Amino acid sequence: MAIDADKATLGRRALLAGGSALGLTGTLAACGAAEEGSETGTGETDAWKFQDDQPVDIDMDHTPTKIVAFTGMAAALYDFGIEVPAVFGPTTNEDGTATSQAGNLPVADLEVFGNVYGEFDVEAYAAWGPEALLTHFYGDPATLWYVPEESKDQITGIVEVAALNVDDGANTLDQIVTRHSELAVSLGADLESDANVANKERYDAAVAALQEAAAANPVRVLACSAAAEIFYASNPATGNDMRFFVELGVDIIVPDALDAATGDYYELLSWENADKYDADLLLLDSRVQALQPEALAEFPTWNALPAVQAGQIVGWEAEPMYSWGLAAASIEALAAAITNAEKLF
């Protein structure tokens, strides 16, 4: 996993203060009462049953439509065919365009209860009348992704919460996409729809292409992220996407001096030592908080890297997307980069 400024400061599972649910239950009762009897077009309600990864056995008497989800999960569900009208997490950039985490979501039409890490408008959320809250967690189900710890009790005390584990230390991107498809089906998605069938075919083709590329051209890949003072060499064991790429045969360099204080996610290199590893191809964190090649052109040691001089850089969605269509795009890009790369060492 590459560097995220919020995660690096607080750790992967943010250490925040606790909260209380008092004061909002009455608001929910007033706002949610009208939703209790919501019906389908047949005049009957459909139950929602799903076992999430906390694990919690969810058993509601109707399938929720007023869903609030972490942006990345909402994007995956939307790609599977589930409308998610409200989100929290990185949704829009400063210019109003969608972030990479938002995928194909219609961001201008969404209720957004928090657009950055640590931000969640609990009162607006309660007043909106949600029926279910959906998010991820990384190993520890007590720490829900992008749900601030200081207000977690308030937020989770309002409606049913379903959470999927996107990093148990061993699960891979492929397995997590499958879990998102199962969640989508529980909410009414049709995996046999034309769109889903086409996306699954594209995904399968991308996976096959990456496996073939890695076998035919075994270049060494460094997963990395760049900041003004530090060049981060990522540990492939700590990311579900990287674990999947390695499983498919991609040779991702394992840094030999991982930073234990930040969970062994990466080795912190000064820019003077950015050339420590002989990488034929750079898998570069493409998120907005990381420096991109245009900005890095001002760094002499970046320009001196053999992979940079050869133009062998591919963008990396260091926070992966969990639908067939969205995941396929990043897998295709890596497969093409490996196919076209030359051995430099």
- Give the pTM: 0.86
β strands within 29-121, DSSP E: 48-51, 57-60, 67-70, 86-88, 111-112
- 254 three-state secondary structure: coil
What domains are there in the chain, each with its CATH number? 5-191 (3.40.50.1980), 198-340 (3.40.50.1980)
pLDDT confidence of residue 287: 87
Give the SS3 label for residue 33: helix
Averages of pLDDT over runs of 10 residues in the chain (345 residues) are: 37 31 36 38 69 97 97 98 97 94 97 96 98 97 96 96 97 98 98 98 98 98 98 98 98 97 95 98 93 97 98 96 97 98 98
145 beta partners: none
How confident is the model at residue 7, as a pLDDT? Answer: 39
Please tell me the number of Cα atoms within 13 Å of 335 on its side-chain side: 19
Task: Please state whether the peptide bond connecting residue 55 to the residue before it is cis, i.e. omega within 30 degrees of 0.
Answer: yes
Amino acid present at 262:
T
106: closest CA among 96, 114, 121?
Answer: 96
How many CB atoms sit inside 10 A of residue 139's CB?
14
Q: Pairing relation of β-strands 160-165 and 132-137?
A: parallel
Q: Residue 45 has what pLDDT?
A: 56
Q: Tokens 């990287």 label which residue?
A: 242
Task: List, in sequence order, every residue forming a beta bridge with 7; answer none if it has no partner.
Answer: none
